[in-house]
Amino acid sequence: MAATMDHRAPVPRDAENDYTPAAAEMRREFLRERTGATLEHVSSFSFDPGLLPGNVEHFTGVAQVPLGIAGPLLVHGEEAQGEFYVPLATAEGTLVASYNRGMKLLYASGGVTTTVVDDRMQRAPCFLFASAREARAFGEWLVERFDDIKAAAESTTRLGRLQDIEQYSASRMLYTRFNYTTGDAAGQNLTGKATQAACRWIVANYPDVEQYFLESNFATDKKSSQVNMLRTRGKRVVAEAVIPDVVLQATMHANSELLFRAREVANLGGFMSGVNNNGAHSANGITAMFIATGQDVANVAESSAAFVYAEQRPNGDYYYSVTIPSLIVATYGGGTGLPTQRECLELLGCYGAGKVNKLAEIVAATVLCGELSLGSAIVAEDWVQAHDLLGRNRP
Amino acid sequence: MAATMDHRAPVPRDAENDYTPAAAEMRREFLRERTGATLEHVSSFSFDPGLLPGNVEHFTGVAQVPLGIAGPLLVHGEEAQGEFYVPLATAEGTLVASYNRGMKLLYASGGVTTTVVDDRMQRAPCFLFASAREARAFGEWLVERFDDIKAAAESTTRLGRLQDIEQYSASRMLYTRFNYTTGDAAGQNLTGKATQAACRWIVANYPDVEQYFLESNFATDKKSSQVNMLRTRGKRVVAEAVIPDVVLQATMHANSELLFRAREVANLGGFMSGVNNNGAHSANGITAMFIATGQDVANVAESSAAFVYAEQRPNGDYYYSVTIPSLIVATYGGGTGLPTQRECLELLGCYGAGKVNKLAEIVAATVLCGELSLGSAIVAEDWVQAHDLLGRNRP
Amino acid sequence: MAATMDHRAPVPRDAENDYTPAAAEMRREFLRERTGATLEHVSSFSFDPGLLPGNVEHFTGVAQVPLGIAGPLLVHGEEAQGEFYVPLATAEGTLVASYNRGMKLLYASGGVTTTVVDDRMQRAPCFLFASAREARAFGEWLVERFDDIKAAAESTTRLGRLQDIEQYSASRMLYTRFNYTTGDAAGQNLTGKATQAACRWIVANYPDVEQYFLESNFATDKKSSQVNMLRTRGKRVVAEAVIPDVVLQATMHANSELLFRAREVANLGGFMSGVNNNGAHSANGITAMFIATGQDVANVAESSAAFVYAEQRPNGDYYYSVTIPSLIVATYGGGTGLPTQRECLELLGCYGAGKVNKLAEIVAATVLCGELSLGSAIVAEDWVQAHDLLGRNRP
Amino acid sequence: MAATMDHRAPVPRDAENDYTPAAAEMRREFLRERTGATLEHVSSFSFDPGLLPGNVEHFTGVAQVPLGIAGPLLVHGEEAQGEFYVPLATAEGTLVASYNRGMKLLYASGGVTTTVVDDRMQRAPCFLFASAREARAFGEWLVERFDDIKAAAESTTRLGRLQDIEQYSASRMLYTRFNYTTGDAAGQNLTGKATQAACRWIVANYPDVEQYFLESNFATDKKSSQVNMLRTRGKRVVAEAVIPDVVLQATMHANSELLFRAREVANLGGFMSGVNNNGAHSANGITAMFIATGQDVANVAESSAAFVYAEQRPNGDYYYSVTIPSLIVATYGGGTGLPTQRECLELLGCYGAGKVNKLAEIVAATVLCGELSLGSAIVAEDWVQAHDLLGRNRP
C-alpha cells in the first residue's frame, strides 16, 4: 500500500478542449503505456467528439455493441400504432431471435394493445426535525404552501411540472416524494434541480427544519423498490393481448392450459422468492432497447420491475398482460441525440418532442412478446415431457 | 387491425451466411425503405460480422456508446491488486467524473479492499406432485441421489460444477435451486443445459413427478429478488475502506458525521420504501462497466442490489463497505470476446481464463468509489446549508 | 374418509337463546362426550353470556390468560400524559419483567414522547375492466365523482368518514384503497360496509365495470404489507426518547456506543432478511396489551410492523424512536366492552369515546420501553464479553 | 416532566411469595387507589397462582377471553386424523361462525389433507470481524467445527438438536441461523440458551471474533420476514383440499370459476402490495387457537405469513392449498400447561409429548377452512352482482 498521491497518475485531459479525436487518442496512448491494452477498435467511432459534452467525461472511444432487429411488432397503442422494427443492442445469442419469435406470435394474434396509465418522475428529499411532532406540523405546512413550493420548483425548469408531494413519516423525519411530469425527458436531472430549488425555498421559509437531504432512498433512482412499483416512477405502462389457443399450438408447441399452469407456479415462486417481477425476463428486451436508443441504461434496475397477469379464458384463449410500473424512457436529452442512438429512435419514429409515450408503448409491447416467447420455450420442454408422461401409462 | 400474416414483412435474412457486411446492409436497406431511417452511423463497425454467431441475430450494425475512463482505482483485492483505469460506457454526463472523483478520494485514503465471499450460479426447476406429501418425499430422494443428479448435470458441461440443491416447498410443489460454480463464464446457459439434463434424469428415475418447469422464479435471472440477495447469485463481493475524516473534509466538502447521519436516514428510507439497495447508485458504475466489458447488461437488474454498511469510528474515520450479493460477471463467453469489449477487459487485465474474480473485485471497488462520491455530493449541499443554519443563529 | 354429512355432528345450538350459561354447558357436555376433555376451568367465567352477541358464536366458556402489570410508564403524549400502569395478558415468563424494566429506564430518563402522526382505516376493492384503457378512464371518473362516492359510503355509518381513494393500476384492473377515519372504533367492519355501499353505487353508475371484488389484498387486513407500512393502516404513531448514557450504564449494564453498534448490525440484518420490523420484539408488548384490552388480537399481524431509528448523540446520549405504521386499536366496539377487557381499558383511562389516540400512544410508549429493555439485554451479554475480550489482550 | 425516581411508585411485590391470591389482590388494591379502576372481573380466576412462575410476573388477575367452538373439522393428516372440535378464543363476531361454515364445506368435500413438511427453530447470532476476509474464513471454520459447536449447544438442552448453521455474509459480518429441532416445545428459549453456549465456545476457540450479538434480525422472532417464509421457522405445514364445484355452488353461493378469478386478482394485489400472505385472513383462526391453547400469541406476527395456491381443475373442481411457512406451536412448555389452555389442548387430543405436529396440522386445516369461507363470502357479493350484470343484458 505504498501508493501515495505523489505517484498517482490521473487520466490526462486537454485543458483547452477535451472533446477532440486528439484528446481521445492522448488518453488511449496513456492507457496503452500503462496497461499494454491495444484499444484499436474502441478508437473506431464515426462521429465528432464535439457532440459529447454533457454525455461523458474523459472520452476515449466507443463500445461497439452489436445491433439486431426484431419485427415487425404490431402495436395498437394510443401513440404507437402499426408495425415497428425494433433495434436491440446485445451480445447475448438468441435474444433477438426470441423476441422476433414472440413478435411473430403476437402478429398472428392480432397485435399488442398498449396504454400508458401513469407518468411521474420524482426526487425525494427527507426533512429532519426535533421530534415527530414538528415533522407532522411540517407535513401540514407542505400542503398549505404547495403553490409556493411548486412555483419555486418550476422556476428552474421549462418542462417539469410539480404534480404533488407525497409524505411518508417515520421517527423525527418526514420523507417526501416530489412528483413531476417531465415532458419527453426522463427527467432525473430536471427534477433534481427543481427539488433543490424547492428545498431552498422551504428551509428559507420554515425555520424548524433541522436538516434535510435531497435524497434518502424514497425515489430509488436506479434501484428497484416496492414504493416505485406501487406509486410509479417514469411511465406506468400496460401491454395486453389475447392469443388464440390455436395460434399457440401452431407456432409455439404449447397451449394455453400448460402456459397458464406454468404461470400459476411462477407466480407463487415469485411471491416466495421476493422477486420484483413475476414474469420471465423483461430486462432482456428493455436493456437491448435502452442501449440502442440512448436511454440511461442503469435505469434497467427499476425498469425491470414488472407485473404479469394472465387468464385462461373459457374458450381456451390466453389473455396476457405485462404492467411495467417504473419504466424510465426519454426521446429527448441524455444519450438520445447521439448518432447511432438517434438513428435507432428514428427507426421507431420516436426521436424528439412528443414521442416519449410512443416509445414507452413500443418498449412494453416488445416486452410482452419476449415474455410469451420465453414462457412458451420453458413450457415446450414440458410439452414434450407431458406427452412422454402420458405415453408412460400406455403399454 | 387489418394486419394479416400475408402482409407481414419479416426482417430479411441471407440463408447462406447471415453474418456478413452485405447481410447487414441488406437489412439496413430494408429498414430504410420501410421507415425512412438513415442508419449511417450504425453501419460503422470496425470488425468482421463473422465473429457474431452466438452473440446476435439479424445483425444490422452497432450501437456506439461513448467510453470514458476513470482512475486510477487503487484496489487491494485477492485477485485485483494495484491501480486500474476503469472503462465506463455511458451517455450520462457527470457519471465518469463522479466515479473518478471517488477514486481519487479512495486513493488518498489508501485504497479499497475487496473480497469475493461466495460464488454460485443457478437454475431453479420446480416439480409438481399429487400433494405436498409426495413433494416432501421427493425432497428426501433428491438428497439421497445427489451424486447421480450431479453426474447427470455435469455430463453436459466442462466448467460447471453442481454444488448443492436448495429446496423450498409450498403446496404440492417443490421449488429448487441448483447451485453451480461456473468458472470464468457467467454461466446462465451452462446451468440451464446442465439442469435440463438433471431434470430429464430425475423424471426418468422418479415416476411420481407429475410435471416440472425448468424455471419458476426462484433463480430470478435478470430480476431482483430477496432470495438472491440472501443466497447469492453470481459473485457475492464486498468492497471496504476506511476514509480518514481529514481526507473527507479536504476533498469532499463533507465530514464523517454528516455522511453518517445521511446514511442512517437513507437506511431507514430504504427499509420503508422496500428498495433492493440501501446505497446510492451502484447501477451507474456497474452498467457502464458491463457495457464496456461485454457483460450481459440485462443482469444489471439483479447486479444492482447492494447492502451498504458504514460506521463512524471513534476517531472520526469513516468505515464504509458495499456488499454486492448477486453480481453476474464473466471474462469468458457471451460478449466478452467482441472487439471493443475484449479491449476493455484487457485494459483491466481481465480477459480470459482465471480472471473472473479479479473483474468482480474491480467492479465492487468501482462501486464503492461512486457511492462515496455521490453520497458526499448529497451531503455537501447540506454542508453548505449546515453552515447557513449555524450562521442563522448568529447576529 | 368414510365421513359423510349424515354422520356429521355439528356443534349444538339453542335456537331460542344461544347466549346463556345453559347453552354453554350444553356445548361443554357435547364436547366432553365426544372428546373426553374436562372443560372445568373454561366454564369459570364471571359475567353474563348475554353480553356476547356480536363477539363470539358457539360460546362455550373462556380462556383465562394471566395478567401482569408493568409500570409506572411515564408518557408525554398529546392525549396520554402522566404515569400509567400497563396491563399485559401473557403466559410468557419474563415478558412483564422485561417491559417493567424498560419502563423504569425510561422513567429515569424523563419519559417517552408520543405522537399519532396519521390515522386511516381502509377497505380495498378491485375493479376489473375490458382492458387497461377502460381501467384508467374509471380512475379519472373516481376522482371526478368523489363527493358522490363519499356520500354513498358515509350513508351507512355514523363514525366513518371517507378521506380519499388511492389508486394502484395493473393490467386491466384498478386496485383502490378507500381510506377512512373511524373515530374510536378500529373500523374494519364499518369500512367494509361503507365501501360495499360505495361499490354498489359505483357499479350502478359506471356500467363499464366488468366485475369487482370488495377486497383483493390491498388493505391487507390481518396481514403485514409494505403498502400498509408506507401508507398507514389504523394509527401511525411514533414514540421517542433520549436516554442519557449514564442512565444506560447505571441500570442496563450497557452503554450507548454498544447499543448503537448492535442497532446498526440489526438494521442491516433486517434489511437483508426482509423483515417487517427492524426492532426487536414489539409484538410481545402489543399482543399482551391487545389481549388485555379487548383489541382484535389477529391485528398483531400488521400491528407488529415497526421502524426503529436511533442516534448516538455527540454527548453520548442515545436518541431512540419507534414508529408503528399500522397499529389497529379501538376503545369502542369489538371486545373493548367485555368485562375484564373494559376494566383494563379503565385502568389506563382509555375506555370509551375520544380515547383511541390515548391508547395508541400508550401502546407505542410501552413498545419503546420493551425495545430498549431487550436491546440492552442482548448487548449486556456482549458487554460482559467485551470486557473479556479486552481482558484477553492483557497478560 | 417533574417526575423523578423519588416519586416513582413501582408495582408492589411480595418478597416472600409473589404468586398468591393475596399478592394479586395487593396489586389490584394498589391499582384501584391510583387509577380508580375496579378490577373485579380480572380477579375471577379459577386456579392457584402458584402455577404461574415462568409464565408471568406481577400477576394481578386474568383476562377472560370468550371461547367459541367450531367443528367438526375433518382432517387427514399424518398425526391428526379424524374429526376435531376447534376452540377459538376471540371477541370478534362472525369469526367462529365463518370458520364453522368453512369446516362444514370441507367436511362435505371429504376433509382436509395436512402435511408438516419442515421443522426448524432458530437463534441467529451475528459475528463481526476486522474485515470481510476474516468473516469468510470464520464461515469456513464454522463448517469444519460443526460437531464441536453442536456439542456445545446441545450441552444445555434435553430436547434441542442443532441441525445446521446457515450463513449470510455482508460487509465485515457473518450473520448465521442456528437451526434446531425442539421436540414439542416452541423452542425459542431453548434455542437461545443453546446458541449462547455455542457462541461462548466459539469466541473461546476463535480469537478473531471482534464482537458478536446473539440476535441481529435473522431469526426474526415475533416478526414477519422473507427469510422465514423461505427457510422456515417453527413448522412449515401444508393444508390441501379438492372442493367439488357442486359443493361450492350448493353451500357457498359461489363457484370455482369465480373463486379462482378472485384468487388471481388477489394474487396480483398481494404481489404489488408487498404482503406476507396472499390469502385472506389466516391470522384470525391462528390467533384464536393460539389464545385458546396457550401458545405464545405474539408469534402471530410470523405465523400469519402464508402462501395460498389454488387451481381450477378441468372438471370444475377447485384445488386449494395453504402453506404456512413459519407456524410456531407447542404442546409443551410456555402457556400450554395453564388450566384453560390445557383443557383446550386436551379437547384436541394435543396436550403433552409427541403432539406438536398434530396441533400444527389442525391449525393448518382450520386456516384452510377459514380461507375458503371468507373467500366465498367476498365472491358471493360478486355472485349476486354477476347475476345482476348478466341480467342487465336482458330486456
Query: Cβ of C304 and D215 within 8 Å?
Result: no
Report, as an integer, the average pLDDT of A55-79: 98
**Which helix (H) or strand (E) segment is D230 a member of?**
helix D226-231
pLDDT for position A288: 98
Enumerate the residues of chain C whose CB falls inside 8 A of the CB of residue B318. none
Spell out the residues 6+ positions from residue C158 whose beta carbon is closer than 8 angstroms to its own. none
User: Which residue of C69, C203, C296 is in closest CB contact with D27?
Assistant: C69
Q: How far apart are CA B44 and CA A47, in angstroms?
A: 10
C-beta neighbour count of B147 within 10 angstroms:
9
pLDDT for position C253: 85
Look up the pTM and report it.
0.96
pLDDT > 70 in chain D, percent: 95
For D370-391, give one letter per residue: b (16+ CB within 10 A) or e: bbbbbbbbbbbbbbebbeeeee
pLDDT > 70 in chain C, percent: 95
Whether D121 has a pLDDT exceeding 70, the answer reads yes
**pLDDT single digits (tens) D154-195:** 999 999 999 999 999 999 999 999 999 999 999 999 999 999
SS (H, E, C) chain A: CCCCHHHCCCCCCCCCCCCCHHHHHHHHHHHHHHHCCCCCHHHCCCCCHHHCCCCCCCEEEEEEEEEEEEEEEEEECCCCEEEEEEEEECCCCCHHHHHHHHHHHHHHCCCEEEEEEEEEEEECCEEECCCHHHHHHHHHHHHHCHHHHHHHHHCCCCCCEEEEEEEEEECCEEEEEEEEECCCCCCHHHHHHHHHHHHHHHHHHCCCCCEEECCCCCCCCCCCEHHHHHHCCEEEEEEEEEECHHHHHHHHCCCHHHHHHHHHHHHHHHHHHCECECCCCHHHHHHHHHHHHCCCHHHHHHHCCEEEEEEECCCCCEEEEEEEEEECCCCCCCCCCCHHHHHHHHHCCCCCCCCHHHHHHHHHHHHHHHHHHHHHHHHHHHHHHHHHHHHHCCC
Enumerate the residues of chain D whose CB falls inside 8 A of the CB of residue B171. 238, 240, 307, 309, 321, 323
Query: Cβ of D264 and A311 within 8 Å?
Result: yes
What residues are paired with D115 via a beta bridge?
D238
Query: Cβ of B309 and C230 within 8 Å?
Result: no
Q: What is the dihedral of CA B315, B318, B323, B327, to 10 degrees?
A: -150
**Minimal Cα–Cα distance from B169 to chain A, Å?**
10
pLDDT > 90 in chain A, percent: 91
Task: Please check whether residue B129 is in contact with residue B208, taking contact to mean a CB–CB distance below 8 angstroms.
Answer: yes
Interface with A, mutate which of C134, C238, C240 (most A CBs under 10 A): C238
**For C308, nearest residue in chain A (alpha carbons):** A171
pLDDT for position C385: 52
pLDDT for position D5: 82
Collapsing DSSP states into helix, strand and coil, what is residue C380? helix
Nearest alpha-carbon partner for D370 in D249, D255, D239: D239
User: Which residue of C87, C224, C283 is in closest CB contact with D298?
Assistant: C283
The C-alpha cell at C77 is 403524549
pLDDT for position D352: 86
Distances (CA, A) of D20 to D10, D12, D17, D28, D53: 19, 13, 7, 13, 11
Count B/D contacts: CB-CB distance under 8 Å: 87
pLDDT for position B5: 82
Whether C88 has a pLDDT exceeding 90, the answer reads yes
**For C97, nearest residue in chain D (alpha carbons):** D57
Pairing of strands C112-123, D81-89: unpaired
Distances (CA, A) of B218 to A15, B229, C88: 52, 12, 42
Whether A386 has a pLDDT exceeding 50, the answer reads no
Cell match 389475447: residue?
A242
Whether A320 has a pLDDT exceeding 90, the answer reads yes
Chains with 3+ CB–CB pairs under 8 A to C are A, B, D
> At CB < 8 Å, which residues of chain B contact C?
226, 229-230, 261, 264, 267-268, 270-274, 278, 307, 309, 311
Enumerate the residues of chain B whose CB falls inside 8 A of the CB of residue A52. 66
Report, as an integer, the average pLDDT of C273-287: 98
Spell out the residues 6+ positions from residue C348 whose beta carbon is closer than 8 angstroms to its own. C84, C85, C86, C87, C293, C358, C359, C362, D35
Query: Cβ of C131 and A118 within 8 Å?
Result: no
The torsion angles phi and psi of C85, rounded to 5 degrees, stand at -105, 120
pLDDT band at B253 (very low <50, low <70, confident <90, very high): confident
Whether D329 has a pLDDT exceeding 90, the answer reads yes
**For A393, nearest residue in chain B (alpha carbons):** B207
Q: Is the dihedral of CA C58, C64, C65, C68 positive or negative?
A: positive
pLDDT band at C388 (very low <50, low <70, confident <90, very high): very low
User: Which residue of B264, B271, B307 is in closest CB contact with C307?
Assistant: B271
Query: Cβ of D278 and A271 within 8 Å?
Result: yes
Whether C367 has a pLDDT exceeding 70, the answer reads yes
**Burial category of D46 from C-beta neighbours within 10 Å (exposed 0-12, middle 13-18, buried 19 and up):** middle
Cell match 490526462: residue?
A12
Interface with A, mutate which of C171, C176, C313, C321 (most A CBs under 10 A): C171
Query: Cβ of A272 and D311 within 8 Å?
Result: no
C-beta neighbour count of D217 within 10 angstroms:
28
**pLDDT single digits (tens) C9-42:** 999 999 999 999 999 999 999 999 999 999 999 9
**pLDDT single digits (tens) C225-252:** 999 999 999 999 999 999 999 999 998 8
User: Which residue of C113, C132, C274 is in closest CB contact with A238?
Assistant: C132
Report, as an integer, the average pLDDT of A126-130: 98
Q: How far apart are CA D359 and CA C156, in angstroms?
A: 41
Query: Cβ of D171 and B307 within 8 Å?
Result: yes
Residue C347's identity, in one-letter code, is L
Report, as an integer, the average pLDDT of B17-21: 97
C-beta neighbour count of C10 within 10 angstroms:
16
pLDDT for position D313: 95
Task: Please check whether residue B42 is in contact with residue B32, taking contact to mean a CB–CB distance below 8 angstroms.
Answer: no
pLDDT for position B395: 31
Mean pLDDT for all residues in chain D: 94
C-beta neighbour count of D7 within 10 angstroms:
10
pLDDT for position B88: 98
Query: Cβ of C264 and B226 within 8 Å?
Result: no
pLDDT for position C392: 37
Residue B241's identity, in one-letter code, is A
Query: Higher confidence at residue D395 or residue D215?
Result: D215
User: Which residue of C96, C128, C214 is in closest CB contact with D58?
Assistant: C96
Query: Cβ of D226 and A274 within 8 Å?
Result: yes
Whether C161 has a pLDDT exceeding 60, the answer reads yes
**Burial category of C392 from C-beta neighbours within 10 Å (exposed 0-12, middle 13-18, buried 19 and up):** exposed
Query: Cβ of C307 and B272 within 8 Å?
Result: yes
pLDDT for position B277: 98
Report, as an integer, the average pLDDT of B79-98: 97
**For A225, nearest residue in chain D (alpha carbons):** D274
DSSP structure class, residue D225: B
The torsion angles phi and psi of A114, rounded to 5 degrees, stand at -130, 145
Enumerate the residues of chain B whose CB falls inside 8 A of the CB of residue A89. 62-63
Query: Cβ of C271 and B268 within 8 Å?
Result: no
Chains with 3+ CB–CB pairs under 8 A to D are A, B, C
Q: Catalytic pick from D79, D119, D296, D361? A: D296
How high is the ipTM of this complex?
A: 0.96
User: Which residue of A27, A213, A301 is in closest CB contact with B304?
Assistant: A301
pLDDT for position B40: 97
pLDDT for position A392: 37
Enumerate the residues of chain B whose CB falls inside 8 A of the CB of residue A228. 273
Report, as an integer, the average pLDDT of D32-47: 97
What residues of A are annotated to the active site? 92, 296, 387
Annotated active-site residue C92? The verdict is yes
- Lowest-confidence pick of A81-85, C178-182, C376-380: C376-380
pLDDT for position A385: 52
Mean pLDDT for all residues in chain A: 94
Whether C379 has a pLDDT exceeding 60, the answer reads yes
Query: Cβ of A229 and D267 within 8 Å?
Result: no
Query: Cβ of D62 and C89 within 8 Å?
Result: yes
Query: Cβ of C300 and D296 within 8 Å?
Result: no
Report, as an integer, the average pLDDT of C269-274: 98
Task: Please check whether residue D130 is in contact with residue D87, taking contact to mean a CB–CB distance below 8 angstroms.
Answer: no
pLDDT for position A161: 98
Query: Cβ of C321 and A171 within 8 Å?
Result: yes
Enumerate the residues of chain A whose CB falls inside 8 A of the CB of residue B70. 11, 58
Nearest alpha-carbon partner for D374 in A15, A133, B118, C215: C215
Spell out the residues 6+ positions from residue D365 whose beta carbon is closer than 8 angstroms to its own. D73, D75, D77, D80, D84, D106, D112, D114, D239
Enumerate the residues of chain C whose CB falls inside 8 A of the CB of residue A173. 309
The C-alpha cell at C12 is 349444538
Q: How far apart are CA C349 and CA C336, in angstroms?
A: 13
**Which pairs from B159-167 meet CB under 8 Å and 24+ separation?**
B159/B183, B159/B184, B159/B185, B159/B187, B159/B190, B160/B187, B160/B190, B160/B191, B160/B194, B162/B194, B162/B198, B163/B120, B166/B231, B167/B139, B167/B142
Task: Please check whether residue B56 is in contact with residue A68, taking contact to mean a CB–CB distance below 8 angstroms.
Answer: yes
Whether B75 has a pLDDT exceeding 90, the answer reads yes
pLDDT band at B378 (very low <50, low <70, confident <90, very high): confident
pLDDT > 90 in chain B, percent: 91
**For C325, nearest residue in chain B (alpha carbons):** B272
Enumerate the residues of chain A whose CB falls inside 8 A of the CB of residue B38. 343, 346
Enumerate the residues of chain B whose CB falls inside 8 A of the CB of residue C272. 229-230, 307
Spell out the residues 6+ positions from residue B29 whose beta carbon is closer than 8 angstroms to its own. none
pLDDT for position D378: 83
Enumerate the residues of chain A whose CB falls inside 8 A of the CB of residue D263. none
Task: Please check whether residue A101 is in contact with residue A373, taking contact to mean a CB–CB distance below 8 angstroms.
Answer: yes
Whether A339 has a pLDDT exceeding 60, the answer reads yes
Count A/D contacts: CB-CB distance under 8 Å: 32
